[in-house]
Structure formats: C-alpha cells, structure tokens
Amino acid sequence: MPHGWPGVIEHYAQWLPVSDATPRITLLEGNTPLIPSETLAGRLGEGVRLYFKYEGVNPTCSFKDRGMTMAVSKAAEEGAACTICASTGNTSAAAAAYSARAGIESVVLIPDGYVALGKLAQALAYGARTIAIDGDFDDCLTLVRAISDSYPVALVNSLNPYRLQGQKTAAFEVCDRLGRAPEYHALPVGNAGNITAYWMGYCEYHEAGVIESLPAMLGFQAAGACPIVRGEVCEKPETVATAIRIGNPARWQEASAALRESGGRIEAVTDDEILEAYRELSSEEGIFCEPASAASWAGLKLLAAEGFFDGVECTVVATLTGHGLKDPDMAVKMALEPEKAPNELGAVVEMLGLG
Ligand code: F0G
C-alpha cells in the first residue's frame, strides 16, 4: 500500500464482484482496528483472548460503509440516478454519504422518532431526501422494496447482494490481522445482514485455504426485538438499542444457516444488560460504541455466566458496529450531570480533594 489504505474495494478487489470498469466510490472505509481487550476479557474466562473489531471509526462511523461502498459503486456502474433505503439510522447515513460522493440522489425512509440523533444529523447533512414514516423499520423496508420494484431507484438495503459482499471484508480483516480465524465471533443482529456477510467472508477465506478453521458465529438480539431467537416475527419490536429494533429480519434464513453451519448460537439480551455492557465498554475499556453494538459484549457475558468459556482456550472477536457519538442522547442520559464550580482555582482544588 504505497499510498496508504485504498478502501475495501481496491484492497480486496480479487474477492469482490468488481472489474476495472466499476467506479470506486470510496471514502477509504475499512482497515478498522482490532483492539485487544485489556480489562473485560478476564470476565469471560482465564483462557479467553478477546478482541473488539471497532467499526465505529469508519467514515460514517459504522460498519455500513463497507457494504455501501460496494452497493453505490455498482449502482453508479449501472447508471442509477437515485438510491433508496429503509434504515434505523446507520444504513441511511452511509447511503446518503456514498450517494453524495457519487453524485447520485438518495432517499431514506426512517421510523419516525426512533432514529438516534447523530444518525439523523448525518442523513440530513449529506443531503439525502429524508422521510420519517409513521411506522417501524419493517414498514419502511416494505415501502422501499415496493418502490424499487416499480420505479428506477436502486435499493441499497442489505437485500442488495453487493452490500453483503462489501461487509464480508470485515471478516477478511480479522483473519489478516490475527493470521487465523478466531474460535468465536460475536455480533449484534438486527436485519441479519452483517452476521450473514461475516460468515460468507470466513467461508471464502477457508475455501481458498487462507485460514484453516472457521469460527462459531454468536448472534445477539435485543430481548424486545428477537424474532430469530423466538422463531417468530416480532410484531411490536421495542428496545433502547434502536439500531436493532427490527421484528422481521430480511436475512433471517441466511443468518439461521450461518448459525447452524458454524455451530453457533443466537441469544437475546435485555435492555438493562445492553446498557450495562455499553457503560462497561466505554468506562472500563475506553471504547465508546452505540447501544446496539454493546449487545456483542452483553451476549458474551451471558454465555460466560452459563460456563460457556470455562476451561476453554480460545480467541473471541466481538464486533462493535457503530460509534457511541451516533446516539448522544443515550450517552448523556446514562451519565451523571457534570459538576459545577466557580471559575476559581481554590474552589476546584478543594472540590477535587487536593487542597
Ligand atoms: N449494529 C448497528 C449499529 C446497526 O446499525 C445495525 C443495523 C446492526 C448492528 C445490525 O446489523 O442489520 O446487519 O443485523 N442497522 C441497520 C440500519 C438495520 O438501518 O442502519 P444487521
């Protein structure tokens, strides 16, 4: 990489359905850090090496940029004039950014009142036509599917196969960094595209002989929005983790196959467990992610509590899907009020107990 990281399409071109004719609509996404856990790993078990794949440092601050660079590049190659997506916030931020970069219009449908402030700000700032629907994510997805079926707009939700192609590069990066696959890979699950994409990436590296073993995929849904765990559509999804407030995941079947084939597990974590995990990641590990992302860590703790990692030597990777600043309201709500002091040295010193 003589000129630095070129973005996921250019770096992994041989693994992706692109040709020289495909424009690279990129913001140099990917190449995100795999951060070793210093503090929290010990809580899983003595033999556990834990890493966080921190996707919050992508250009729009979530993992969605990996899929969106592919989806928008292919839309541009095919001459699309407009993209459309339904979103709980992150997909819309990425769609808006990459469409702007490509000079393509974008339309995003979001559930009114259930998109975190930072994500809404992004869609608006990048200039997407942003429409808040009186319904939830699943309703928004039904609408954009119908619109893209009948009108000349490119659907860039993860139903679009290019999205998964781009997102699988995160699994490649994990293997490239570790020199092997981990034993376990933990992810929050919403529309179930990302867990499907990771599994695809691991399988492709395995078939090509780049890695010798495959991880077991561990998926975690919010207890109020856990259709895959329950095995039935959730009619009224509810969770503080608005990113994964989804009742009928589009990639349900593929995610189920990934879980089955990898010998993995899917479990539900409560909002309290998600928020506790969210606080621990930022205040004890120094990694600020959004609430939905913390479902990865919450879920690992749940498994540890049932003895899952007891006496096991293993490497675990947990993807932290989005940055904490995506949801500033939650961050402030979870914290104590800032203390107040006069603009006076003595008063501050005394307050800190240093005087
Ligand atoms: N974490 C975050 C921060 C997300 O934004 C999402 C999905 C997920 C996890 C779950 O990933 O859907 O592939 O299973 N967000 C979508 C959106 C639905 O519209 O931004 P998934």
Q: What torsion do the CA atoms of 67, 195, 91, 205 make, to the nearest 10 degrees?
A: -10
Cα maximum dimension of the chain: 72
* CA–CA separation, 312 and 324 (whole Å): 31
Nearest CA-CA partner of 205 in 223, 229, 181, 182: 181
Distance from chain centroid for Cα 173: 15
Compute the half-sphere exposure of residue 84: CA atoms within 13 Å on the CB side of its CA.
18
Token code pair at residue 45: 């078990």
Q: In 114-140, which positions are buried (b, 16+ CB within 10 angstroms) versus exposed (e)?
A: bbbebbbebbeebebebeebebbbbeb
pLDDT digit of tens for each residue in the chain (355 aa)?
557 999 999 999 999 999 999 999 999 999 999 999 999 999 999 999 999 999 999 999 999 999 999 999 999 999 999 999 999 999 999 999 999 999 999 999 999 999 999 999 999 999 999 999 999 999 999 999 999 999 999 999 999 999 999 999 999 999 999 999 999 999 999 999 999 999 999 999 999 999 999 999 999 999 999 999 999 999 999 999 999 999 999 999 999 999 999 999 999 999 999 999 999 999 999 999 999 999 999 999 999 999 999 999 999 999 999 999 999 999 999 887 888 999 999 999 999 999 7
**Binding-site residues, ligand 1, Cβ < 6 A:** 62, 64, 87-91, 158, 188-194, 243-244, 290, 292-293, 321-322
User: Which of 84, 88, 259 to mutate to test ligand 1, by most ligand atoms within 8 A of the CB atom?
Assistant: 88
Give the pTM: 0.97
